[in-house]
A = this chain, B = another copy of it.
Amino acid sequence: MAEVLENLKSLVKKAESKMVLLVADGLGGIPHPDFGYRTELEAAQTPHLDELAKKSALGLMTPVNYGITPGSGPGHIGLFGYNPEELTIGRGVLEALGVGFHLQAGDVAARANFATRDERGIIVDRRAGRISTEECARLVEKISQEVKEIEGVEIILRPGMEHRFVLILRGEGLGEKVKDTDPQKEGFPPYEPQALDAASEKTSRVLKLFLEKANQIIKEEPKANAILLRGFSQSPHLEKFSERYGVKPLAIAIYPMYKGIARLFGFDTPEVSGDFQDEVKLLRDKWFDYDFFFLHYKDTDKAGEDGDFKKKVDRIEYLDQFIPQILALNPDVLVITGDHSTPTLLHSHSWHPSPVLLYSKYAGSSTGLRFTERECAHGYLGQFPARALMSLMLANALRLGKFGA
């Protein structure tokens, strides 16, 4: 994929301009045969987005690379202007962020499943019959009471949905390069923890002891009598967003995972609950304290993953209603886009580029009557990699100096 300017940071200059990046998760779609071969954006009534589109530059944004379907991690890494082909957020880290856990540097996190094993130790159900969330919380509490520390390493468990939980190891000298113990299929025993480099041997040792103790605690449970671990990872080392771009950034998101991802990049991530209305209220409240606002809207992705066309249309129309309130704040740059597409026809994330709308005094020529994939396909911004979006936002905010003499 094409790269942004290598030393972009050297061109960044101070300004008073304010930028808003509104990410409607999974926004993009593809034509659905059951709905007149329209996409969700095309079927939705979006008077405010239409009016805005007529005054904006439109385009299509490839999240990672041609044909590549991103998880939420890579999708947002690109939007923040980093290279998703080089910077990775591990599964364990994402899951820890997803339950609202505040990771510290050096913490090793893993995704954990309660599972069912037979008397020979073979995993017969990787999800322990999908025990209830309450059951999971009970078991996590039981283990936490008895296992708090091993070899000076703090053992932290956080329950998730159903059979899922998160394991965090906090201590000195922990590497993250440990193989998954989850065989990812039934009919096999869990793998023994195994370090892939010298720096991770302590991690592996602590894990072995943890699993011995924890398995002993749950061995009489009717379903959840085993633990599977995968995605061992630490927070990636990365340059703070504020340092790279010379801004004071705020992340407004209800779902913990997106707050967590933004926190990795050094965004302030205040608590906000309710729905998008509450997010917009917080945007208003914080308007004078920051100059870069990441505003995350989840509903479009949920409807997309549910394969619910009408629901996704409804959620787009709901979002549309808030556009005037955001514009009333007078942002110098407003971008509306997605982190990836989630077409209801596929009921999952996809490789399709995200429609992007760039509104600023200096955006360039408008070419479309509506904010849809089809209109974006021939937009002024063309098709570009997501990692270039920040360069465009900064430029439009008059925050980039000239390159070369």
Chain A contact residues, CB within 8 Å of chain B: 1-6, 11, 30-31, 37, 39, 60, 64-74, 84-85, 88-91, 94, 231, 343, 345-346, 349-353, 361-367, 372-374, 377-380, 382-385, 388, 391-396, 400-405
Chain B residue contacts of A378, Cβ below 8 A: 367, 377-378
Quote the shortest CB–CB distance from A10 to chain B (angstroms): 11
26 contacting pairs across A/B (C-beta < 8 A): A2-B385, A4-B67, A5-B64, A5-B67, A30-B363, A31-B366, A64-B404, A66-B384, A67-B394, A68-B391, A68-B400, A69-B395, A69-B400, A69-B401, A70-B402, A70-B403, A72-B405, A84-B403, A89-B404, A343-B362, A349-B402, A350-B362, A352-B362, A353-B382, A364-B373, A382-B383
Known: A231-B405, A403-B74. A5 touches B65 (CB 8 A): yes
Quote the shortest CB–CB distance from A338 to chain B (angstroms): 14
Chain B residue contacts of A395, Cβ below 8 A: 67-69, 350-351
Task: Determine the residue in chain B with the shortest Cβ distance to A63.
Answer: B403
Judging by beta carbons under 8 Å apart, are A374 and B380 in contact? yes
User: Contact partner of A373 among B66, B70, B365, CB < 8 A?
Assistant: B365
User: Contact partner of A402 among B69, B379, B380, B384, CB < 8 A?
Assistant: B69
Chain B residue contacts of A350, Cβ below 8 A: 362, 395
Chain B residue contacts of A393, Cβ below 8 A: 67
Determine chain A's interface SS by DSSP, over half rule: loop
Chain B residue contacts of A88, Cβ below 8 A: 404
Task: Determine the residue in chain B with the shortest Cβ distance to A378.
Answer: B378
User: Contact partner of A64 among B3, B69, B70, B403, CB < 8 A?
Assistant: B403
Known: A363-B30, A374-B380. A94 touches B351 (CB 8 A): no
Quote the shortest CB–CB distance from A211 to chain B (angstroms): 22
**Further pairs besides A67-B394, A94-B405, A353-B382: 7, Cβ < 8 Å:** A4-B65, A31-B365, A68-B391, A69-B403, A71-B402, A231-B405, A351-B395
Judging by beta carbons under 8 Å apart, are A68 and B11 in contact? yes
Known: A31-B366, A377-B379. A85 touches B5 (CB 8 A): yes
Chain B residue contacts of A363, Cβ below 8 A: 30
Quote the shortest CB–CB distance from A304 to chain B (angstroms): 13
Chain B residue contacts of A90, Cβ below 8 A: 405
User: Contact partner of A66 among B39, B91, B364, B388, CB < 8 A?
Assistant: B388
Docked complex Cα distance between A73 and B403 (Å): 9
Quote the shortest CB–CB distance from A98 to chain B (angstroms): 10
Chain B residue contacts of A231, Cβ below 8 A: 405
Task: Determine the residue in chain B with the shortest Cβ distance to A373.
Answer: B365
Task: Determine the residue in chain B with the shortest Cβ distance to A391.
Answer: B67
Known: A345-B362, A392-B67. A74 touches B380 (CB 8 A): no
Chain B residue contacts of A374, Cβ below 8 A: 365, 367, 380
Quote the shortest CB–CB distance from A344 to chain B (angstroms): 12
Judging by beta carbons under 8 Å apart, are A60 and B382 in contact? yes
Judging by beta carbons under 8 Å apart, are A400 and B351 in contact? yes
User: Contact partner of A404 among B5, B74, B402, CB < 8 A?
Assistant: B74
Chain B residue contacts of A373, Cβ below 8 A: 364-365, 380
Judging by beta carbons under 8 Å apart, are A65 and B391 in contact? yes
Docked complex Cα distance between A89 and B64 (Å): 30
Quote the shortest CB–CB distance from A255 to chain B (angstroms): 15
Known: A64-B5, A362-B343. A73 touches B405 (CB 8 A): yes
Judging by beta carbons under 8 Å apart, are B388 and A67 in contact? yes
